[in-house]
Structure 1
Amino acid sequence: MSDLQNEIPDDAVDAPTPDAVDPSRESTEYEKRLRRDLVRVREQARAAQSDRDAGVAAANRDRDEAIASLRTDLTERIIRSELKAHAIRAGIVDLDALRLADTATLSLGDNGDVVGAEALIDGLRLQKPYLFVDSQARSGVATTAQTLRAPAPALPTEMDARTLPREAWLAERNRLLAPRG
Structure 2
Amino acid sequence: MPRISKQPRIEPLSPPYDEEAGQALDLLGHSPIQLFRVWARRPELARSIAGWGSYYFSRRSALTVRQRELVIDRTTALCGADYEWAVHVAGFAEKAGFDGAQLASLAAGRPTDDCWDASDRAVLEAVDELHTTFDLCDDTWANLVSVANEDAALDLVLICGWYHAVSFAVRALRLPLEPGTDPIAAS
Instruction: Please indicate the TM-score interval, normalised by the length of the shorter structure.
Output: under 0.3
Could you say which structure has the greater relative contact order, defined with CA pairs below 8 angstroms and 6 or more residues apart?
Answer: 2
After TM superposition, the score normalised by the length of structure 2 is: 0.18
TM-score normalized by structure 1? 0.19
